Amino acid sequence: MRIKIHYQNELEQKLVGYQKLFRQISLVVFAHERMGGSYELSLSIVSEEKIREFNRTYRAIDEVTDVLSFAQLEGVNYTLPKDMPLPLGDILICYNQAKKQASAYGHSIRREMAFLFTHGLLHLLGYDHMNEKDEKKMFTLQERILNKLGIRKQERYV
């Protein structure tokens, strides 16, 4: 199994170590889903203004949010050449919102960014939380994935 993550960081903060973390999360998620093959996705770290704009445009919610996902293959069934990775879609994470949430929840920004990336990736793979049953399933899986990597809620270092 191979994964290529295309990164775009619109902020000045140096997010050292996050690329490795996101790759590790991807590998655990794909192993859980028993996904073989080659995949790619795009991850953008964006400002509050940018994520609010996307939230307003695509969800009709004029508010800052923490993470948005745009699945590329939702409802699509097509075959790619063998040497081309399957494009999963795009994840946008608002770093400043993640910082605020980490502080509010009493854990590290690293833990919050890992949670948001995992959440976004699961959305790309078709998970959702539109009802109580699906929410429990998705959030339980998120915590299981993060725990497997040793990223726990009480993690407090930055």
Whole-angstrom distance, CA of residue 144 vs CA of residue 152: 10
Spell out the per-residue pLDDT of the chain, length 158, in tens.
789 999 988 876 667 779 999 999 999 999 999 988 889 999 999 999 999 999 999 999 999 999 999 998 766 566 666 778 889 999 999 999 999 999 999 889 999 999 999 999 999 999 999 999 999 999 999 999 999 999 977 644 44
What distances in angstroms separate CA 68 from CA 2, 44, 57, 150, 156, one per listed residue? Answer: 23, 10, 12, 24, 25
- What SS3 class is residue 150? coil
Handedness of CA 88, 14, 61, 29 (dihedral sign): positive
DSSP classification of residue 17: T
Domains defined for the chain, CATH in brackets: 2-148 (3.40.390.30)
